[in-house]
C-alpha cells in the first residue's frame, strides 16, 4: 500500500472500526498512524480490555484512542466504564458524535442510582446525537439532559425504570422517528406523546398488565408486548401492527381508523373476545393476518373461541392476501353452520397464501370442509401450508384425520403441503 496517495490510504483505513484493529494499524508505521486519525467509527467489544498486561484502565484506553481521531462520528463501547470516564470521552468528541451505543451494565448496581453525575447524565454532552442505543441501564432518576434536537433513533434494551423518568426522556427527544424499549421492567402505565414518531417497538417484562397510550399521528409501525390496555387514537398512517402478551391477557384495544393497515399480528395466551372482535373489525383493509391466540375469556377462566362465520369473515376482509392462523382461530372458523348457505357468487378475491396450525382431530369433518372451502373459493390461492403440531390422541380419529389431510394434499399437490 506504500505507493497509494495519502487520501486513498486514509479512505481505506477509515473503514476499520474495531478498537484492537485500530491499535494494530497504529503500530505499522507513522504514515498509517497519521491516517488512522480519519476513522469515523470506534467499536470496543466486551473483550477489548481482557489483556491483563495492560496497565491502563478501560476509561484511559478509550480516552486515548478517541483523542487521536480528528472527527469521530460513531462510538460503540460494550466494555466496562465509569461515569467519569464517559464524561472525559464525550468532552473530546461529544460535539461530533452522531451515533452512540453503550453497554451500561448497571442494572444490579444500587450505588449507580446515587452517582452524580450518573452515566445517563453524561450522555447529555453529546448534544448532536442522531442515534442513541443503551443496553442494561438503570433509570431510577431523571437524566439531566437538554433537548436533543437531532436525535431520531432511541433504543433501550434491558432496563429497570420508573414511569416519570421515561416521561423526562421523551421530553428530551421530541423529534424521535424510531423508538425501541425492549426487555424493560418497572412500568405499569406508559404514555408516549411524540409527534414525529414513525416506528415503535415496546417489550415490557412482568405480569403483562401494563397500559399504553400512544399519541403519534405519523406512526407507521407499532409492536407491543406485555400490555393489557392499549390506546392509539391517531392511526391514519399505521401499516404494521403487532400486539402480543405472553404473561397476561389483552383486555382492551382502542385504535382510530386503520385505512393503511397491511400487516396485523395478534399473539398471546388469552385475549378478551371484545378485544379480538374490535381488532378484526377495525382491520378491514388488512392484507396479512397472523393470529396465535390460544384462548378467550374476560376473567381467569380460559374459554375457547366462539363461532366465527367463514363467509362473513372473508367478506369483511376483502384485501386479505396471507392468512396465518393457529388452532383456536381455525377451530372457530370450522363451524357446522358457516358453510351451509353460501351465496353462489361468493369468492375470496385476494387470498394467495394460507398457513394453518392444527393441534386437535376434534370436529375433523368441519375442519376438512373449511380447508376444502378455502381451496374452492380462494381463486388466487397459490399456497396452503398445514402444520400438524403435537397432535396427540389414542383414538383412531387422529389417524383418520391425518389420512384426510394427506388425501387433500394429493388432490391439490401443487398448492397444499404438510409440515
Residue 224 domain-assigned? yes
State the pLDDT at residue 191.
Answer: 94
Cross-strand partners of 241: 222, 264
The region that residue 105 occupies, defined by phi over 0 for left and psi between -120 and 50 for alpha, beta otherwise, is: left
In a domain, 209, yes or no: yes
Tell me the residue range of the domain where 300 lies.
68-418
Helices 396-411 + 364-377 axis angle, to 10: 10
pLDDT in tens, 132-173: 999 999 988 899 999 999 999 999 999 998 889 999 999 999
Asked if residue 245 is part of any domain, the answer here is: yes
CATH no. for residue 239? 3.80.10
| CA–CA distances in Å: residue 48 to residues 64, 80, 119 | 14, 10, 20
pTM: 0.90
Whether residue 34 is contained in a domain is answered as: no
Q: From 56, 129, 125, 41, select the one nearest 86 (Cα to Cα).
A: 125
Query: In Å, how far from its chain's centre is CA 258?
Result: 20
The number of distinct structural domains making up the chain is 1
Q: Is residue 97 part of a domain?
A: yes
Summarised one tens digit per residue, pLDDT across range 360-384 is 888 888 899 999 999 999 999 999 9
Strand partners, 154: 132, 179
Cα–Cα distance, 329 to 42 (Å, whole number)? 50
Cα torsion angle, 170, 176, 177, 180, sign: negative
Give yes or no for a contact between 146 and 165, defined as CB atoms under 8 angstroms apart.
no
Cα distance between residue 123 and residue 93, in whole Å: 12
Q: Rounded to whole angstroms, how far apart are CA atoms 35 and 14?
A: 8
Asked if the structure places residue 23 within a domain, the reply is: no
Say if residue 111 is exposed, middle or buried (CB neighbours under 10 Å; 0-12, 13-18, 19+): exposed
pLDDT of residue 136: 92
Is 18 part of a structural domain of the chain? no
Residue 60 lies in a domain: no
If pLDDT is split at 50, 70 and 90, which confidence band does 192 have? Answer: very high
Amino acid at each position: 500500500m506504500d505507493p497509494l496517495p495519502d487520501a486513498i490510504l486514509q479512505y481505506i483505513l477509515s473503514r476499520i472500526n474495531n478498537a484492537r484493529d485500530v491499535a494494530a494499524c497504529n503500530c505499522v508505521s507513522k504514515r498509517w498512524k497519521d491516517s488512522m486519525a480519519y476513522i469515523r467509527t470506534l467499536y470496543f467489544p466486551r473483550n477489548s480490555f481482557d489483556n491483563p498486561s495492560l496497565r491502563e484502565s478501560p476509561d484511559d484506553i478509550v480516552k486515548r484512542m478517541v483523542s487521536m481521531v480528528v472527527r469521530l462520528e460513531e462510538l460503540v463501547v460494550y466494555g466496562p466504564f465509569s461515569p467519569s470516564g464517559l464524561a472525559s470521552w464525550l468532552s473530546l468528541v461529544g460535539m461530533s458524535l452522531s451515533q452512540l451505543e453503550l453497554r451500561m451494565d448497571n442494572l444490579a448496581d444500587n450505588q449507580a442510582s446515587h452517582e452524580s453525575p450518573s452515566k445517563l447524565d453524561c450522555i447529555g454532552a453529546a448534544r448532536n446525537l442522531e442515534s442513541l442505543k443503551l443496553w442494561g441501564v438503570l433509570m431510577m432518576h431523571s437524566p439531566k439532559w437538554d433537548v436533543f434536537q437531532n436525535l431520531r433513533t432511541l433504543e433501550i434494551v434491558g432496563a429497570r425504570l420508573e414511569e416519570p423518568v421515561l416521561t423526562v426522556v421523551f421530553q428530551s427527544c421530541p423529534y424521535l422517528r424510531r423508538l425501541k424499549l425492549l426487555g424493560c421492567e418497572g412500568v405499569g402505565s406508559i404514555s408516549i406523546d411524540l409527534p414525529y414518531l414513525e416506528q415503535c417497538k415496546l417489550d415490557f417484562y412482568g405480569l403483562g398488565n401494563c397500559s399504553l397510550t400512544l399519541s403519534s399521528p405519523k406512526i407507521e409501525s407499532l409492536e407491543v408486548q406485555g400490555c393489557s390496555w392499549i390506546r392509539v387514537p391517531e392511526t391514519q398512517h399505521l401499516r404494521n401492527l403487532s400486539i402480543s402478551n405472553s404473561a397476561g391477557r389483552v383486555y382492551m384495544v382502542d385504535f382510530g381508523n386503520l385505512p393503511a393497515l397491511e400487516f396485523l399480528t395478534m399473539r398471546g395466551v388469552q385475549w378478551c373476545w371484545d378485544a379480538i372482535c374490535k381488532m378484526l373489525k377495525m382491520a378491514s383493509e388488512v392484507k396479512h393476518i397472523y393470529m396465535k391466540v390460544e384462548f378467550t375469556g374476560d376473567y381467569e377462566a380460559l374459554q375457547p373461541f366462539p363461532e366465527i362465520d367463514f363467509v362473513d369473515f372473508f367478506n369483511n376482509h376483502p384485501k386479505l392476501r396471507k392468512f396465518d392462523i393457529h388452532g383456536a382461530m381455525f377451530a372457530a372458523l370450522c363451524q357446522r353452520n358457516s358453510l351451509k348457505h353460501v351465496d353462489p357468487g361468493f369468492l375470496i378475491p385476494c387470498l394467495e397464501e394460507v398457513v394453518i396450525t392444527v393441534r386437535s382431530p376434534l370436529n375433523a369433518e368441519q375442519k376438512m370442509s373449511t380447508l376444502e372451502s378455502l381451496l374452492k373459493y380462494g381463486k388466487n390461492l397459490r399456497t396452503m401450508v398445514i402444520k400438524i403440531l403435537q397432535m396427540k390422541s389414542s383414538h383412531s380419529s387422529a389417524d383418520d384425520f391425518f389420512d384426510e389431510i394427506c388425501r387433500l394434499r394429493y388432490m391439490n399437490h401443487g398448492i397444499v403441503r404438510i409440515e
